[in-house]
Amino acid sequence: MIWTLFSNEWRATLRDGRGILVLAVGTVLAIASTWTTSSTLERERIAQEEATFAAREAWDARALDNPHARAHYGDYVFRPPGPLAELDPGVQSETGRVVYTEAHRQNSAVHKPQQESASLLRYDRLEPATVLQLLAPLVMVLAGFGVVSSERESGRLRLLWIQGVRPLPLLLAKSLALWSLGALVCLIVVAVHLAFSGPVEAGRTAVFIGLHLLVIWVVAVLVTCVSAQSRRPGTAAALLLSLWVIGAIVFPRVAAMSAHAIDPLPGRDAFQAAMQEDREQGMDGHNPRDTRRQAFERQVLEEYGVETPAELPINLGGLVMQADEEYGSQVWDKHFGELTEHLVRQSTFAGYFSLLNPLQAIDRASMAVAGTDLHSHLEFLRQVEDYRRVLVKRLNDEHAFGGSRTGQPARVASREFYESFQAFDFEPLSLRSLLGKSKIALFALLIWGLGSVGYLFFAARRMNRGGLL
Amino acid sequence: MILTALLLELRSLTRSPFRLIVLLLVIGAGLFVIYEGQRDVQRWEEAIANGQAEQDQALQDVRGYFASGDLGPSDRPWIQMTSPRWQDWYAATRISRAPAPLAGIAFASAESGAVSVRVNRFADPLLAAGMNIENPVLAAAGGLDLVAVLSLLLPLLILALGVEVGGFERYSGLLPLVRVQSGRDHTWLWARCLAVGFIAAAVGLFLVLSAAFGAGADLVSAIPLLALVFIYIALWTALLAVVSVISRHPSHGAVSLGAAWIVFCFLIPAIGVERSAALSSNDFALDLTVDARDAGHDHADADLQELYAIVFKRFPELRNTAPYSLERGRREVNEALRIVHLEERMEGRAKVAKKHSELVTAVSMASPTVAFSRALEEIAGRSPEAAEGFRKAVVDAAASRAERYIRTTWLSTKLGLEDFEELHASTPQFVEPPQPSWLNEFADLVGWTLIFLVLAVLLAKWSPRRS
> Looking at residue A312, what is its pLDDT?
84
Nearest to B370 among A120, A290, A373 (CB): A120
> Which residues of chain B are within 8 Å of residue A121 when distances are taken between CB atoms?
110, 273, 276
> Is A282 a member of any domain?
yes
If DSSP codes are grouped into helix, strand and coil, which group holds residue A74?
A: coil
Give the residue on A whose Cα is nearest the Cα of B78.
Answer: A287
Nearest to A119 among B18, B250, B373 (CB): B373
Rounded distance between C-alpha atoms, residue A194 and residue A191, angstroms: 5
Rounded distance between C-alpha atoms, residue B314 and residue B332, angstroms: 14
If DSSP codes are grouped into helix, strand and coil, which group holds residue A102?
A: strand
Percent share of chain B, pLDDT over 90: 41
Nearest to B137 among A145, A266, A374 (CB): A374
Give the residue on A whose Cα is nearest the Cα of B350.
Answer: A116
Neighbouring CB atoms inside 10 A of A140's CB total 26
Q: Provide mean pLDDT across the span B359-378.
A: 95
On whether the CB atoms of residues B427 and B93 are closer than 8 A, the answer is: yes
> Looking at residue A5, what is its pLDDT?
83
DSSP secondary structure, A52-67, as one string: HHHHHHHHHHSPP--H
> Which residues of chain B are within 8 Å of residue A43 when distances are taken between CB atoms?
278, 281-282
Instruction: Kindly report each contact of residues B65-68 with a partner whose C-beta sits within 8 Å and lies 24 or more positions away, as own/partner.
Output: B66/B416, B66/B417, B66/B420
> Is A469 a member of any domain?
no
On whether the CB atoms of residues A101 and A78 are closer than 8 A, the answer is: no
CA B88 to chain centroid? 32
Nearest to A126 among B163, B273, B290 (CB): B273
> Which residues contact residue B30 at a Cβ distance below 8 angstroms, ignoring those fewer than 6 apart?
B146, B149, B150, B153, B203, B206, B207, B210
> Looking at residue B173, what is its pLDDT?
81
pLDDT tens by residue, chain A, 469 residues: 778 888 888 888 777 766 677 778 778 888 888 888 888 888 999 999 999 999 999 999 888 888 988 999 999 999 999 889 989 999 988 898 999 999 999 998 988 887 778 888 888 888 899 989 998 898 888 888 888 888 888 888 888 888 888 889 999 999 999 999 889 888 888 888 888 777 778 899 999 999 999 999 999 999 999 999 988 787 888 788 889 888 998 899 999 989 988 999 998 888 988 998 898 887 776 776 678 888 888 888 888 888 888 888 888 888 988 998 999 999 999 999 999 999 999 999 999 999 999 999 999 999 999 999 999 999 999 999 999 999 999 999 998 888 777 777 667 888 899 999 999 999 999 999 999 999 999 999 999 999 999 999 999 998 865 554 4
Rounded distance between C-alpha atoms, residue B93 and residue B88, angstroms: 9
Rounded distance between C-alpha atoms, residue A94 and residue B173, angstroms: 53
Rounded distance between C-alpha atoms, residue A346 and residue A350, angstroms: 6
On whether the CB atoms of residues A168 and A457 are closer than 8 A, the answer is: yes
> Looking at residue A409, what is its pLDDT?
64
If DSSP codes are grouped into helix, strand and coil, which group holds residue A425?
A: coil
Surface-to-core class of residue B325, CB atoms within 10 Å of its CB (0-12 exposed, 13-18 middle, 19+ buried): exposed
Angle between helical axes of A233-245 and A202-229 (0-180°, round to 10): 140
On whether the CB atoms of residues B274 and A129 are closer than 8 A, the answer is: no
On whether the CB atoms of residues A103 and A321 are closer than 8 A, the answer is: yes
> Which residues contact residue B313 at a Cβ distance below 8 angstroms, ignoring those fewer than 6 apart?
none
How does strand B93-97 pair with strand B116-119? antiparallel
CA distance A433 to chain B (A): 18
Under an 8 A CB cutoff, do A234 and B251 touch?
A: yes
Rounded distance between C-alpha atoms, residue A22 and residue A466, angstroms: 32
Tell me the pLDDT tens digit for each residue of A401-447. 887 777 776 678 888 999 999 999 999 999 999 999 999 999 999 99
User: What is the DSSP code (8-state) at residue A309?
Assistant: G
Neighbouring CB atoms inside 10 A of B431's CB total 21
Give the residue on A whose Cα is nearest the Cα of B54.
Answer: A273
> Which residues contact residue A238 at a Cβ distance below 8 angstroms, ignoring those fewer than 6 apart?
B18, B160, B163, B250, B254
> Looking at residue A469, what is its pLDDT?
46
Closest CA to A131 of A353, A363, A355, A354: A363
Best probe of the B interface among A117, A147, A294, A438, by most B CBs < 10 A, is A117
Rounded distance between C-alpha atoms, residue B86 and residue B90, angstroms: 6
> Is A239 a member of any domain?
yes
Give the residue on B whose Cα is nearest the Cα of A257.
Answer: B144
> Is A328 a member of any domain?
yes
If DSSP codes are grouped into helix, strand and coil, which group holds residue A411?
A: coil
> Looking at residue B112, what is its pLDDT?
74
Rounded distance between C-alpha atoms, residue B241 and residue A181, angstroms: 33
Q: Which residues pair with A204 in a beta bridge?
A: none
On whether the CB atoms of residues A469 and A152 are closer than 8 A, the answer is: yes
Q: Provide mean pLDDT across the span B423-429.
A: 88
Neighbouring CB atoms inside 10 A of A258's CB total 18
Strand order across the B116-119 sheet: B116-119, B93-97, B430-431
CA distance B265 to chain A (A): 8
CA distances from A40 to A97, A377, B283, B359 (A): 15, 20, 11, 16
Phi/psi for A365 (5° steps) reads -65, -40
Q: Where are the beta strands (DSSP E) in A204-264?
A: none
In this model, does residue B235 exceed pLDDT 90? yes
Under an 8 A CB cutoff, do A98 and B285 touch?
A: yes
Rounded distance between C-alpha atoms, residue A245 and residue A250, angstroms: 6
Rounded distance between C-alpha atoms, residue B341 and residue B347, angstroms: 10
Query: Helical H runs in A352-373?
Result: 358-370
> Is A405 a member of any domain?
yes
Q: Does A132 touch chain B (CB under 8 A)?
A: no
3-state secondary structure chain B: CHHHHHHHHHHHHHHCHHHHHHHHHHHHHHHHHHHHHHHHHHHHHHHHHHHHHHHHHHHHHHHHHHHHCCCCCCCCCCCCCCCHHHHHHHCCEEEEECCCCCHHHHCCCCCCCCCEEEECCCCCHHHCCCCECCCHHHHCCCCCCHHHHHHHHHHHHHHHHHCCCCHHHHHHCHHHHHHHHHCCHHHHHHHHHHHHHHHHHHHHHHHHHHHHHHHCCCHHHHHHHHHHHHHHHHHHHHHHHHHHHHCCCHHHHHHHHHHHHHHHHHHHHHHHHHHHHHHCCCCCCCCCCHHHHHHCCCCCCCCHHHHHHHHHHHCHHHHHHCCCCHHHHHHHHHHHHHHHHHHHHHHHHHHHHHHHHHHHHHHHHHCHHHHHHHHHHHHCCCCHHHHHHHHHHHHHHHHHHHHHHHHHHHCCCCCCHHHHHHHHHHCCCEECCCCCCCHHHHHHHHHHHHHHHHHHHHHHHHHHHHC
Surface-to-core class of residue A347, CB atoms within 10 Å of its CB (0-12 exposed, 13-18 middle, 19+ buried): buried
On whether the CB atoms of residues B271 and A32 are closer than 8 A, the answer is: no
CA distance A354 to chain B (A): 13
Neighbouring CB atoms inside 10 A of A312's CB total 19
> Which residues contact residue B150 at a Cβ distance below 8 angstroms, ignoring those fewer than 6 apart?
B30, B204, B207, B229, B232, B372, B376
Which of residues 249 through 288 in chain A touch B, CB cutoff 8 A?
Answer: 249-250, 252-257, 259-261, 265-271, 273, 287
Nearest to A116 among B129, B253, B356 (CB): B356
Give the residue on B whose Cα is nearest the Cα of A122.
Answer: B142
**Domain tally for chain A?**
1
Which of residues 20 through 39 in chain A touch B, CB cutoff 8 A?
Answer: 33, 36-37, 39
User: Apex CA B398: angle with CA B395 and CA B399, to 5°?
Assistant: 85
> Which residues of chain B are within 8 Å of residue A37 when distances are taken between CB atoms?
274, 277
> Which residues contact residue A221 at a Cβ distance below 8 angstroms, ignoring those fewer than 6 apart?
A175, A452, A453, A455, A456
On whether the CB atoms of residues A81 and A45 are closer than 8 A, the answer is: yes
Phi/psi for A130 (5° steps) reads -65, -40
Neighbouring CB atoms inside 10 A of B403's CB total 19
Q: Which residue has the higher pLDDT, B15 or B377?
A: B377
ipTM: 0.89
Closest CA to A77 of A108, A103, A120, A104: A108
Range of the domain at A297: 2-464
CA B7 to chain centroid? 39
> Looking at residue B297, what is its pLDDT?
67
Q: Provide mean pLDDT across the span B368-392.
A: 93
Q: b or e along A264-280 (b: 16 or more beta carbons within 10 Å of the residue's beta carbon)?
A: ebbbbbbbeeebeebbe
Rounded distance between C-alpha atoms, residue B284 and residue B126, angstroms: 13
Q: Does A17 touch chain B (CB under 8 A)?
A: no
Nearest to B285 among A97, A121, A339 (CB): A97
C-alpha Rg value of chain A to the nearest Å = 30
> Which residues of chain B are within 8 Å of residue A126 when distances are taken between CB atoms?
267, 270-271, 273-274
Tell me the pLDDT tens digit for each residue of B173-208. 877 777 777 667 778 888 889 999 999 999 999 999
Tell me the pLDDT tens digit for each residue of A146-200. 888 888 888 888 888 888 888 899 999 999 999 998 898 888 888 888 887 777 7
> Which residues of chain A are within 8 Å of residue B278 when distances are taken between CB atoms?
36, 39-40, 43
Query: Helical H runs in A246-357?
Result: 251-262, 268-279, 291-304, 316-351
CA distance B133 to chain A (A): 6
Tell me the pLDDT tens digit for each residue of B315-352. 999 988 888 888 888 888 988 999 999 999 999 999 99
